[in-house]
């Protein structure tokens, strides 16, 4: 059993990269991927600890891409923190994230919710600041009762506190991943907010760009949804992957490896991804 979608303090998770690896080992996983948002900073630490614990490690990242009406994230696997177009693109996304954070502080002030940069930085610690850190501050202020409520009420796309970013095009991310010997996977496809027919058309277009897989075994999806997505992935020749989307206390109730208790991503998914590395088009 494996988990190909985990976050650490290198982006918006609450646990250090080493702790994510320890949780994966404790869950009895054969392999785990670290896929922090728009960056590669935690990969070396996670890889070293995975080697110590004897668990296979998959270096990766999750990249936010331009899309309407919902949100699109692309998971990139077998990515190393080395110079190249993907790392350059991620550096640009990180800089844009910082601008977004300043704008978000201003937006919350307009809503009568004063949040300072200092307290958000304190919540993030050594991590790159993300919306979960803002959510935790809102909980501490008593504005909302939970991180989930903070997103549902203020921070999610379409809510009054949401501030967008200048995200990269999915095709560019896919091309960069393939050019570096990696493979790109569409994350949690229901977040796209598309009809089944529209999702089918999008997958056809992304496959033409070189997409290698789709996240089907996603912790927050019920069994029938997972099965439907597996059939859709198979119809497009995509690898059906999966993961917990673990963020620690910022996404309570999700656990490395098992998700909400019923997640079981097979080892074969990782083997299939390895076979797709570096392909440009199908």
Mean pLDDT of the chain: 92
Last residue of one domain, picked from the residues 101, 128, 155: 155
Task: Report the domain count for the chain.
Answer: 2
Q: Among 2-11, 67-76, 92-101, 136-145, name the one with the lowest average pLDDT.
A: 92-101
Residue 248 and residue 199 in one domain: yes
List phi, psi (to 5°) of 88: -60, -45
Residue 106 and residue 37 in one domain: no
Judged on CB neighbours under 10 Å (0-12, 13-18, 19+), 50 is buried
Last residue of one domain, picked from the residues 106, 123, 155: 155
Q: What is the pLDDT of residue 282?
A: 47
Last residue of one domain, picked from the residues 155, 182, 208: 155
Residue 16 and residue 137 in one domain: no
pTM assigned to the model = 0.86
Q: DSSP class of residue 206?
A: H
Listed in sequence order, the residues at least 6 apart from 184 whose beta carbon sits closer than 8 Å to its beta carbon are: 74, 75, 76, 77, 173, 174, 177, 178, 210, 211, 212, 213
pLDDT band at 280; cut points 50, 70, 90: low
Place of tokens 């056809």: 204
Q: Residue 111: which CATH number?
A: 1.10.150.650
SS3 sequence, 216-265? EEECCCCHHHHHHHHHHHHHCCCEEEEECCECHHHCCCCECCCECCCCCE
């Amino acid at each position: 059993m494996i988990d190909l979608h985990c976050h650490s303090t290198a982006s918006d998770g609450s646990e250090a990269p080493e702790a994510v690896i320890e949780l994966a080992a404790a869950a009895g996983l054969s392999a785990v991927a670290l896929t922090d948002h728009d960056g590669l900073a935690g990969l070396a630490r996670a890889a070293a600890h995975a080697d110590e614990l004897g668990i296979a490690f998959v270096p990766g990242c999750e990249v936010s891409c331009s899309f309407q009406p919902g949100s699109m994230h692309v998971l990139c696997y077998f990515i190393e923190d080395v110079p190249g177009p993907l790392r350059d693109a991620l550096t640009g996304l990180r800089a844009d994230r910082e601008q977004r954070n300043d704008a978000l502080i201003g937006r919350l002030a307009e809503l009568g919710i004063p949040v300072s940069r200092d307290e958000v930085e304190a919540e993030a610690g050594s991590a790159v600041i993300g919306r979960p850190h803002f959510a935790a501050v809102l909980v501490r202020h008593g504005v909302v009762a939970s991180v989930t409520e903070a997103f549902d009420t203020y921070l999610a796309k379409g809510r009054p506190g949401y501030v967008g970013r200048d995200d990269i095009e999915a095709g560019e991310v896919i091309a960069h991943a393939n050019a570096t010997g990696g493979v790109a996977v569409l994350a949690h496809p229901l977040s796209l907010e598309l009809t089944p027919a529209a999702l089918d058309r999008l997958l056809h277009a992304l496959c033409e760009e070189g997409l290698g897989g789709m996240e089907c075994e996603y912790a927050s999806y019920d069994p029938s949804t997972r099965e439907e997505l597996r059939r859709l992935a198979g119809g497009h020749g995509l690898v059906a992957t999966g993961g917990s989307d673990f963020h620690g206390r910022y996404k309570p109730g999700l656990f490395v490896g098992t998700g909400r208790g019923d997640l079981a991503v097979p080892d074969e998914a990782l083997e299939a991804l390895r076979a797709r590395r570096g392909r440009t088009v199908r």
